[in-house]
Amino acid sequence: MIEARGLSKRFHDKKRGEIRAVDNVSFRCEPGRIYGLLGANGAGKTTTLRMLATILEPTDGTALVCGYDVVEHPEKVRANVGFLSTATALYPRLTAQELVEYFGRLNGLDEATLKNRLDVIFNRLDMNSFRDRRCDKLSTGMKQKTSIARTLVHDPPVMIFDEPTLGLDIMTARTITTFIRECRDRGKTVIFSTHIMSEVEKLCDVIGIIHDGRLLTEGTLAQLREKYAEQDLEEIFVKIVDPLQSKVEA
Amino acid sequence: MNLRAVGIVYRKEFTEWVRDRRTLISTVLVPLFLFPVMMVGFSALAVVMVGKAEKETPKIMILGGDDSPQLLASIRKLDALEIVPYAPNWKDQISNKDIRAAVEIPKDFEKSLETNESETVKIYFYDGEMKSSFGANRLEKFLKDYRDTVVRDRLAAKNLPASVLSPFTIKQENVAPPEKVSGATFGSFIGYTVIILCMTGAMYPAIDLTAGEKERGTMETILSSPISRLDLVCGKFLLVFSASLATAILSVISMGGSFAILGHTNLMNSSSGGPTLALNLGLLSVVSVFLMALPLAFLFSAVLMTIALFAKSYKEAQSYLTPMTFLIVIPAVASVMPGVELTPKLALIPILNTSLVCKEIIAGTYHWNSIALIFVSTCAYAGAALFLAFKTFQRESVLFRS
């Protein structure tokens, strides 16, 4: 389970001064459900997810991941999280197997358990044909599968996906969305950020709309449709983040 | 600190390192082949070039001297010189290397000799041009011999012995053992080279493991794993340190091999008949140089990693570290300067102190107090640099600089 409690992150920029990338964001993600964080570029999605994954430290507030505080116990949080984004690249000079083994060992798996996990994951993701190939020689789809294997190797109960389909072709993106659904079906807590409305509609059980670092609203798709009297998610999104523009268009 | 985690990071970094051609070139190939090429190759080339120049019979032009037939005849008789006819553009001919030198015999030179008047015989040559210098030297030697003959004849005419002109002789004699002489000659160079190679060996892995990770997008991947930043820094640092040490070890081995080859090929024999510059790098010297390079390699690894971490890309890191190279070269070069000796104050200046102590060690001098002071002070600098590297790794503004 993930519980964000007033998460905030401020950055200091020499030219622009203080920037509030995330401002007092609170939400809750339950096991077996996908929480979709929807927002435009620069809304604060990546910063929020990086704080949940303990890659960044919150300026104010905190979050609990599987009962561990992200500020107090960042290493325990990371041991319970699988983090995947388009920015999490692979080591080019390692083979797919070496890379997954590396992260398995860093997650404290012993060699026998690691071998079993590798066999299970590589069979499930159909990776055996390229397990000994170096990552810099893999196709985009193969790389994504290897990234998925990396996040799964320690079988974490929480999965964090930061715009995982950004820039991918349809088939590779489908591999990712199928994987996200599988995570939910296996009872994992899943949080997923995107700015693609169709992905949210297809995947998310709960949607949180974030803009200028603030979580403006959240609820199921049905709840949002009812609340904003709109069927189309894009219209709902515009109504929430830019009500003035929405009125002008109406 | 979790040693298992440090070991896992180190193993992974090592695997990637041995698969990277760029780092292998800087860590293995450069130190292994730099010394043989520089020392054996250049020495052999120099010997061949000098030998070839010495074998050449230089073309010499005589200016004037028609009224000094005896001198002219003596010069013309010399097999070591080829006399060419006079030409008014003799200066151009020397500059264009058509002839090697010219000798100007003053008017009525032989008459002046008879009347005991002093005259000046001028030799014209191309300064800095080896073959021209050889020609000028042969001319000068001939003229000095000729002058000595004139002096002896004059003394004989007055029934005076030749020793009247040299009541005593002066001779300098070396009392230091040959290995100390050669150590003093090559010590600075060896210390300097080991230091530079320690740095170049650390440079590329330091960039690859920091800015390289950022550029490839793997920094966020590793930061999302449960490893602590301290363990991550230690694992990465150990690899950079290993690369630096590997370079130092290979350079010492290569150096020893190069001197052994030089010793067998007599390329280091002094052409002036002096003692042979045989460098005996004993085990104690090699181990001592290695031990003194150890904390310095540690320091370089930590400093280079810290600086490279600020860069967003490999290229940017290279531009940050290039001025760093000069900072390291300056004290290393300063130690090679004549007259720069190890003092307690200089023993506290990193790089310069190691370079100076290596010079002394290779010459066979062991000032244990200085050695201890240098080792401890460099260790302290290295520890501070590693602490700085760890602190830098914790700064989000550095890790996620955009």
| ipTM confidence | 0.88
Residue B112's identity, in one-letter code, is S
Q: Is the pLDDT of residue B141 over 90?
A: yes
Q: Are A64 and A173 within one domain?
A: yes
pLDDT at B270: 47
Which among B108, B132, B164 is the end of a domain? Answer: B164
Q: Are A52 and A164 within one domain?
A: yes
User: Phi and psi dihedrals of A85, rounded to 5?
Assistant: -150, 170
Q: Are A72 and A171 within one domain?
A: yes
Domain holding A59, by residue range, is 2-80+160-249
For residues B153 and A167, the model is more confident at B153
A90 neighbourhood in chain B, CB within 8 Å: 218, 221
Which among A107, A126, A155 is the end of a domain? Answer: A155
Q: Are B192 and B97 within one domain?
A: no
Task: Classify B401 as helix, strand or coil.
Answer: coil
Q: Smallest Cβ distance to A87: which of B19, B20, B217?
A: B217
Q: Are B30 and B122 within one domain?
A: no
User: Total domain count for chain B?
Assistant: 2
Q: Are A171 and A187 within one domain?
A: yes
Contact, B222 vs B393, CB < 8 A? no
Rounded to 5°, the CA angle B393-B394-B395 comes to: 95
- Using CB atoms and an 8 Å cut-off, which of residues 78-117 of chain A contact chain B? 78-79, 81, 83, 85, 87-94, 98, 102-103, 105-108
Taking the C-alpha atoms of residue B135 and residue B82, their distance in angstroms, rounded to an integer, is 10
Q: Quick one: closest CA in B to A86, which residue?
A: B217
Q: Are A38 and A111 within one domain?
A: no
pLDDT at A167: 76
For residues B167 and B376, the model is more confident at B376
- What average pLDDT does range B334-360 have in this prediction? 81
Q: Smallest Cβ distance to A106: which of B8, B15, B20?
A: B8
The rounded percent of chain B whose pLDDT value lies above 90 is 31
DSSP string, B69-105: HHHHHHHHH-TT-EEE---TTHHHHHHTTSSSEEEEE
The rounded percent of chain B whose pLDDT value lies above 70 is 94
Taking the C-alpha atoms of residue B77 and residue B97, their distance in angstroms, rounded to an integer, is 23
Q: Is the pLDDT of residue B275 over 50?
A: no
Q: Are A244 and A164 within one domain?
A: yes
Q: Are B152 and B178 within one domain?
A: no
pLDDT at B272: 45
Taking the C-alpha atoms of residue B54 and residue B274, their distance in angstroms, rounded to an integer, is 19
Q: Are A135 and A193 within one domain?
A: no
User: Total domain count for chain A?
Assistant: 2
B216 neighbourhood in chain A, CB within 8 Å: 89, 91-92
pLDDT tens column, B329-338: 888 778 777 7
- We report the CATH number of the domain holding residue A226 as 3.40.50.300
Suggest the residue from B221, B222, B232, B394 to mutate for an interface test with chain A (most A CBs closer than 10 A).
B221
Find, among B120, B139, B152, B194, the residue nearest to B362 by Cα: B194
pLDDT at B142: 92
Q: Are B153 and B190 within one domain?
A: no
- We report the CATH number of the domain holding residue B151 as 3.40.1710.10
pLDDT tens column, A3-38: 999 999 998 887 888 889 999 999 999 999 999 999
pLDDT in tens, chain A (250 residues): 899 999 999 988 878 888 899 999 999 999 999 999 999 888 899 999 999 999 999 999 999 999 999 999 999 999 999 998 877 789 999 999 999 999 999 999 999 999 999 999 998 888 899 999 999 999 888 888 899 899 989 999 999 999 888 877 888 788 888 889 989 999 999 998 988 888 888 899 999 999 999 999 999 999 999 988 888 888 898 888 877 666 666 5
- Average pLDDT of chain B is 85
pLDDT tens column, B387-402: 999 998 888 888 887 6
Within-domain flag for A85: no
Q: Do A87 and B225 touch (CB under 8 A)?
A: no
Domain holding B378, by residue range, is 3-38+174-399
Unique residue bearing structure tokens 């002219």: B72
pLDDT tens column, B220-273: 899 999 999 999 999 999 999 998 888 888 877 787 777 777 666 655 554 444
Q: Are A118 and A240 within one domain?
A: no
Which among A155, A181, A212 is the end of a domain? Answer: A155
For residues B202 and A88, the model is more confident at B202
Q: Do B224 and A81 touch (CB under 8 A)?
A: yes
Q: Are B160 and B178 within one domain?
A: no
